[in-house]
Amino acid sequence: MSASHIELRQERSLTDVINVTFGFIRANVRIIGKTLAFIVGPVAFMTLAAGLFLTVSLDISNAERILQDFSSGSILALVGAGAIVMIVTTVAGFLLTVATMGIVRLYDERGAGAIALDDVWGEMKTHGPTLFLIAVMLFFAFVLPYPLQLIPCLGPIVYLAWALYAQTVFTISYSVCVFEGKSGWSAFQRSRELLRDHFWQSLGVYIVANILAQILAAGASLPAGIASFIAAFFAWGDESAPQSIAVAVGAFYAVVVLLSVALLMITIIAMSFQYFNLVERKERAGLRQRVEEMADRAGVPDHGSSATAPNRRSKDMQAHRKTGAGVDTGDEEDVERPPPGEDDDGDSGPDRWRRSDSDVA
């Protein structure tokens, strides 16, 4: 491992988790870029096509024509195009989640710079089914309590609280599936166990990562939005230029969807680091692993039979401290010691150390 390798199994604060997330992205920007092009590229193309179809079919250069299209049944085109975009982006978001988890696991195994796109694809095929089960459970966790929003006042608040809780738990469950081999309900239970006593920090990581992702998406899509607005403004009311408006609006829509899906990686990576943070706080697995690695590098042998004698001697010394009795260390013969305060000649106290010059001679 290189000196710049990021240690995954380490206790971190909320700020540290966010910082290390962006450090991880910088360290793996090449494979992340290839993954985005492989997964999000087709999504952007399909979104652009749907946006072009939508804007051309409604002819947004003419306000009266829009109302006529809605009244004549062209609303179905709007709903159809919107449904296609939603389905495609949902599938792309799931695939990107699986790919991101694969990149994190490969980094843990190999380090930065040693991950190929084929390796990521292999991880997706390996962990895709178990992560899909978690995604289905999350879907029902959102859908089944949805009628709570019909309750006046408290209903929407309760549903929002549940949604945040479910999203946090299930996002941690992704890492549990990949790094612990659990699936389904067992992964969910393990995630809840890890979150016990540390839920609020995990929720904070999830919220902050999402907010940062949305801010970055808005900032990155701003130039495309300005260009689309300018193109639509100059073409508005021009019967000969509806296609230019369609291209501008469709391109902007595609850019927004592309960035929203791509920056989902920030949340997934941040919650992966939070998973390792939770495991380290509860089980100290990373600390034990680092101690074992240091011992291996130092060539320290396993504590076997050779360590029995020192351990026994240590126990004997402890017993000696407690009882005041002599200890057989095996290094010297037992010696009958004089009573405290009296030496072999019967002298007691400090006087025994006073020797005349004749005695010394």
42-80, pLDDT tens digit by residue? 776 776 676 666 655 555 455 455 545 554 555 565 666
Mean pLDDT of 270-292: 80
Q: Return the axis-axis angle of helices 154-180 and 75-110, rounded to nearest 10°.
A: 40
Query: So what's the pLDDT on residue 93?
Result: 87
- Could you give the C-alpha distances from 147 to 144, 156, 160, 166, 206, in angstroms and in order? 7, 9, 12, 16, 25
- Mark residue 164 as left, alpha or beta (left: phi above 0; alpha: psi -120 to 50; beta: remaining): alpha
Query: So what's the pLDDT on residue 205?
Result: 95
Strand-pairing partners, residue 32, are none
The Cα 150–Cα 294 span in angstroms is 58
Q: Please, are residues 6 and 27 in contact by the beta-carbon 8 Å criterion?
A: yes
Query: So what's the pLDDT on residue 42?
Result: 79
CA-based torsion, 284, 286, 287, 291: positive or negative: positive
Mean pLDDT of 30-35: 90
Is the predicted pLDDT of residue 310 greater than 50, yes or no?
A: no
Q: Is 276 exposed, middle or buried (0-12, 13-18, 19+ CB in 10 A)?
A: buried
pTM over 0.85: no
> How many CA atoms lie less than 13 Å away from 262 in the CB half-sphere?
25
Q: Please, are residues 285 and 202 in contact by the beta-carbon 8 Å criterion?
A: no
169-216 per-position pLDDT tens digit:
999 999 999 999 998 899 999 999 999 989 999 999 999 999 999 898
95-123 per-position pLDDT tens digit:
999 999 999 999 999 887 788 899 999 99
The Cα 323–Cα 326 span in angstroms is 9
Q: Please, are residues 78 and 135 in contact by the beta-carbon 8 Å criterion?
A: no
Q: Which long-range contacts (CB under 8 A, 24 or more apart) does 298-304 make?
A: none
Q: Please, are residues 168 and 195 in contact by the beta-carbon 8 Å criterion?
A: yes
Q: Please, are residues 289 and 280 in contact by the beta-carbon 8 Å criterion?
A: no
Nearest to 47 by CA among 265, 261, 264, 268: 261
- Strand runs labelled E in 8-94: none
- Longest Cα pair distance anywhere in the chain, in angstroms? 131
CB proximity list for 127: less than 8 A, separation 6 or greater:
98, 101, 102, 105, 177, 178
Q: Return the axis-axis angle of helices 117-143 and 29-58, rounded to nearest 10°.
A: 50
Q: How confident is the model at residue 309 (pLDDT cuts 50, 70, 90)?
A: very low
Which value, in Å, is the radius of gyration of the alpha carbons in the chain?
Answer: 34
The Cα 35–Cα 282 span in angstroms is 33
> How many CA atoms lie less than 13 Å away from 203 in the CB half-sphere?
13
